[in-house]
Structure 1
Amino acid sequence: MTRNGGDVTVESLTALGATHVFGIPGQHALGLFDAIRRSELSFVSSRVENNSVFAADGYARTTGQVGVVFCSTGPGALTALGALQEAYAACVPVLMITSQIPRDGLGGARKGYLHQLDDQQASARNVTKSTATVRDAAAIPGVLADAWATAQAAPAGPVWVEIPQDVLLEEVAVPPVTGLDAEVPAPRRPRPEVAAEAARLLAGAERPVILAGGGVRRSAGAPEALVALAETLDAPVVSTAGGNGAIPLAHPLSAGAWIEDRFTTDLLEDADVLLALGTSFGEVTSNYGTFAPRGRAIQVDAEARVLGSNHDVLGVHADAAAALADVAAALPEAGARPGARRSGASVAAELRARVQARLDSQDLAAEQRLLADLRAAVPDDTETFWDMTIAAYWAWSAWDPRSGGFHTAQASGGLGLGFPAAIGAAVGTGRRAFAVTGDGGAMYSIAELATARQHDADLTWLVIDDGGYGILREYMTGAFGEATATELARPDFVRLAEAFGIPVHAATPETVGDVVAGTFATSGPAMVVLPATLRMFSAT
């Protein structure tokens, strides 16, 4: 049979190492989907385009591979933008391949095509690292190879390639694509003089503190290098919400991840030298703008534009692992540590004790017990996904990832990531994943129960049903004395899951740990519904 642009696309992806594709068919994209039938790629059929990207995001976070999405023109492509924003903010490598109207209509040259946008790429530019339009099938392999490399180059992120309908369907003379290289640049190393200056500051510090952000977790080898440098400096390590797990919470130098607690902010402010790794000092990390460092701050990040964007810093433009290695190597020449340096382990233990005492004074035993019961129920190596819900706000600080992955939507803060991302993780890793959402967030992705059932994905989905947008209810009540538009009509989640053919379990706060643990002895999807109203902790 003849080959077309769709075949060239799937051949290129296969040559690049792709094994799975997420997405939804559409009129202009039919050439892509017909070509999958003739390929070895496994297709995961979502029900909403936004959830296709979330699933590819979860796949990428847990496999270390690029998550690939096929999407249709116009409404389909636009529906995916919210999830692309999360992948962009969280530095997750996703390759979005969307169709386009035929070439003669691009740029509005002709009007009246179904799904037509005069400049579809413009919609994607705010939420992707790069965008491209392919106008000839011969260019597909090279464009996809460049996009594949760009998605993975630190800082990683989503990329956008659109291919017009006629390019996908036209017969091609392009030879079958059997080999394709995508050269991912080596991680950026710091300039030697900058690494030496950072080492000099740290060597002379009496109260050094390390702040570990999500960039540490994303950088290969950085968590181990972080622990080694912290031990050399005897410095306590605070983790951001995105960096939770960068250092084991059980390590004596771990000061925890209670980044929103004022005691933690005080510790960061009091450091005479603060080494911030892979964090932009964003809204949550800066404790909502209240953090004001009094000492010298060193900021390491692979993304040049975040350096110094919120505070006066010694900016180190580099990958976290490379920077940690070079700074550690420069320490011996920077001079001996001062004898007056405090014990990092004592500082970390004191901070954890003060935070725990504050929590214990607030009548939050139910919330603390829930997190403890879930931690005991979920195997240590499980990839966990937390939607924007009160339980997740607790988990940012209270969840110990141990040997598993801890993934949240905290980067951009949108609803709906948890469940579809867990589907992507389950499909990609072949291991059972765990997702937690509220009832409000659950409705963003409820249709993906069909996806989980269709692909028999191994995952447990915990829905905490408090009858509304719980975190917004707390925010509004705190700010205005009462909440508006936060209470929600919702389905009977148990009966709804049953209608999809999903094993479902009703739980209580007393039984939820055992119920969740039981699902890990099963295969395929399972849903647990917990009616409960949780409260947020006060951080001051």
Structure 2
Amino acid sequence: MTHDHDVVLRPTAAQTEAALNPPPGRNGGDLVVETLAGLGATTVFGLPGQHALGMFDALRRSSLSYVGFRVENNTGFAADAYGRITGEVAPLLLSTGPGALTSLAALQEAAAGSSPVLAIGSQVPVAGLGGGRHGYLHELRDQQGSFRDVVKSVHTVRTASQIPSAIAAAWESALTAPHGPVWVEIPQDVLLAETTLPVVTAMDATPDEVVPRPELTAVAAELLSRAERPAIIAGGGVVRSDASGKLLALAELVNAPVVTTFGGKGAFPWEHPLSLQSWLEDRHTTDFLEDADVLLVVGSGLGELSSNYHTFKPRGRVIQIEADAGKLESNHPALGIHADARLALSALLETIDAERPDEGAHARVADLLAKVGERIDAQDLTLERQVLAAVREALPDASPSFWDMTILAYWAWSAFDARRPNTMHSAQGAGGLGYGFPAALGAAVADPSHPVLAVSGDGGAMYSIAELATAQQYGLNVTWLIVDDGGYGILREYMSDAFGEASATELARPDFVALAESFGVPGLRTTPETLGDDLAKALAEPGPSVVVLPALLRMFAPTHLG
């Protein structure tokens, strides 16, 4: 009996000749970069350090393109964005101890946002492992332990021959739904030791797809077919699995209104008559979803933000499609379907055999959006809406945007029309500051054909000022909008509301325009009235730019307490 793969496993004469005569001067670092190239990587992000130099030296002898940042956490944010934009693994090369640990907040965001980041870190020499008392520079008692609570999987190497298999296993883990960051660590002496192993060639680390069980699809299809008031919550899983087209087809088939979570922005057309948009922090939207007799939740765990701060209490049947098995029914009882969003939606489309009549869905959506609009109109938030509208007008539809944790981003979660899937990203998964600008740089590396927008407050901007040097060095097409309100604006609001007064929120800050220009990056100070034109011009110019908007923005009043 023969199998198709038998042919693949038998080396050709040329392969045998190459394997028996590997080029001289290679080390463990070469095995790392050869494996990455063999798996399909073209670009790596990183920041060198003493124990990791074997990997960085090997980059000289490889076809991989290297993009170096100034701070490991920013490097991780860039890799995260590269993974989101391309859907491919983003290799991230790090050093031992402080260098590795500095990336943890970025890897937490990659985990929360399901971004396939492959972090490869060095370690102290093999002789020093396990004790933490050998006195090596950067030594930790248990470096793996620091990552285990953050990443999907941890992979360790102790000999050169283990490098290709460990990286391939990590690669497959990163791409297995749900995507996520993984950690590989390799001791310094293993990276530096000369090797006579053959050059690593093409490797296959393609994960198995997460396919829905047919009996669950049958039940879900029956529920949706019979529903009188169906509704859909579309999360980030719809975007990551490229399932927006399937979602639109299903929503129209069963006439179900759709709300997108903040992580699922762009998953459904904003102006569609079935679109509830993204007003999740609004009691009218929460009431609408609670009233659904069948609620389909696709690619969302219905966490804090997606459930209006856990005030959402569905009264009908819930169907939850989720690639992360741990999120199934984690917040609400449901018919849980462990599956990739695209495959599950495809199965539902094939199973539901008749289009469901409108029965007033379009009118109910229009009524809901009118109520939301009336609530916002009553709050005297003209400046905030003007600023957000100017950003939307200036940004080309195909251009991605990356938003830091700042008041304008909080507005954008609810009110910004992403227009296309996979174009609006924020740090709302883990919620760390400093995400916007370095992530935008990673997106510009992933796709240089479109300008990229980053949005930060002045507080968050200070986390990543150093990366202006990176933007300038690589000529990356990123325009950075910094909304300068003199401090941590959202925390100022939270503290004032909770305690009557804010503390620790006011910040001294630089002249951001002069600072940008000192890096060789064009800078401009704008106003709410000129923001649209100034942003459009900056985005149209190649290379990096900074636009500073001095403005004190306010949040719309929350309604989850209503």
Common fold by TM > 0.5? yes
Deviations 1:504-536 (A, max 9, x none): 011011111111000122111000000001110
Structure 1 position 56 matched with structure 2 position 79: yes
Q: Distance in 1 between matches of 2:312 and 2:527?
A: 39
- Aligned residue for 2:534? 515
Q: Distance in 2 between matches of 1:336 and 1:235?
A: 11
Distance 1:109 1:212, change over 3 A: closer
Counterparts of residues 90-101 of structure 1 (less than 5 Å): 90-101=113-124
- Aligned residue for 1:534? 553
Would you say the 8 A contact 1:235–1:343 is kept in 2? no
Would you say the 8 A contact 1:234–1:343 is kept in 2? no
**Which of 11, 17, 31 is the equivalent residue of 1:8?**
31
CA-atom RMSD, angstroms?
Answer: 1.3
TM-fit CA distance, 1:56: 0.6
TM-fit CA distance, 1:110: 5.5
- Aligned residue for 2:184? 161
Would you say the 8 A contact 2:472–2:520 is kept in 1? yes
Q: Distance in 1 between matches of 2:321 and 2:445?
A: 34
**Which of 131, 134, 142 is the equivalent residue of 2:157?**
134
Q: Distance in 1 between matches of 2:482 and 2:55?
A: 35
* 1:176 match: secondary structure: coil
**Which of 354, 370, 380 is the equivalent residue of 2:397?**
380
Deviations 1:47-99 (A, max 9, x none): 11000100111111112221111100000111100000000010000000000
* 1:294 match: secondary structure: coil
Deviations 1:414-464 (A, max 9, x none): 111110011111112113111000001001111111111111111100000
Q: Distance in 2 between matches of 1:9 and 1:343?
A: 59
Counterparts of residues 240-389 of structure 1 (less than 5 Å): 240-332=261-353, 337=356, 342-389=359-406
**Count of residue pairs the alignment pairs up:** 534
Counterparts of residues 497-516 of structure 1 (less than 5 Å): 497-516=516-535
Q: Name the aligned partner's letter for residue 299 of structure 1.
A: Q
TM-fit CA distance, 1:336: 8.1
| Identity %, equivalent residues | 60
**Which of 491, 508, 513 is the equivalent residue of 1:494?**
513
* 1:124 match: secondary structure: helix
Q: Name the aligned partner's letter for residue 196 of structure 1.
A: A
Distance 1:468 1:336, change over 3 A: closer
Would you say the 8 A contact 2:238–2:267 is kept in 1? yes
Q: Distance in 2 between matches of 1:475 and 1:54?
A: 26
- Aligned residue for 1:414? 432
Q: Distance in 2 between matches of 1:67 and 1:5?
A: 20
Q: Distance in 2 between matches of 1:322 and 1:391?
A: 35
Q: Name the aligned partner's letter for residue 60 of structure 1.
A: G
Structure 1 position 147 matched with structure 2 position 170: yes
* 2:136 match: secondary structure: coil
Q: Distance in 2 between matches of 1:493 and 1:258?
A: 33
Structure 1 position 180 matched with structure 2 position 203: yes
Q: Name the aligned partner's letter for residue 200 of structure 2.
A: V
Structure 1 position 218 matched with structure 2 position 235: no
Distance 1:336 1:458, change over 3 A: closer
Structure 1 position 82 matched with structure 2 position 105: yes
Q: Distance in 2 between matches of 1:409 and 1:395?
A: 12
Distance 1:22 1:75, change over 3 A: same
Q: Distance in 1 between matches of 2:211 and 2:441?
A: 35
- Aligned residue for 2:90? 67
* 1:520 match: secondary structure: helix
TM-fit CA distance, 1:328: 2.3
- Aligned residue for 1:30? 53
* 2:352 match: secondary structure: helix
TM-fit CA distance, 1:189: 1.7
Q: Distance in 2 between matches of 1:38 and 1:329?
A: 50
TM-fit CA distance, 1:109: 6.9
Q: Distance in 2 between matches of 1:427 and 1:225?
A: 29
Q: Distance in 1 between matches of 2:189 and 2:133?
A: 15
Moved more, 349-358 or 375-384: 349-358
Structure 1 position 199 matched with structure 2 position 221: yes
Q: Name the aligned partner's letter for residue 427 of structure 2.
A: A
TM-fit CA distance, 1:183: 2.1
Q: Name the aligned partner's letter for residue 349 of structure 1.
A: A
Provide structure 2 residue ranges, at least 5 long, that are not aligned to the other structure. Answer: 1-23
Would you say the 8 A contact 1:269–1:294 is kept in 2? yes
- Aligned residue for 2:8? none
TM-fit CA distance, 1:330: 2.1
Structure 1 position 395 matched with structure 2 position 395: no
Deviations 1:171-212 (A, max 9, x none): 1121011221112212x1211111111111111211111010
* 1:242 match: secondary structure: helix
Q: Distance in 2 between matches of 1:213 and 1:178?
A: 38
Structure 1 position 439 matched with structure 2 position 462: no
- Aligned residue for 1:426? 444
Q: Distance in 1 between matches of 2:87 and 2:293?
A: 36
Would you say the 8 A contact 2:132–2:140 is kept in 1? no
TM-score of the two chains, using structure 1 as the length reference: 0.97
Q: Distance in 1 between matches of 2:345 and 2:215?
A: 14
**Which of 181, 190, 210 is the equivalent residue of 2:212?**
190
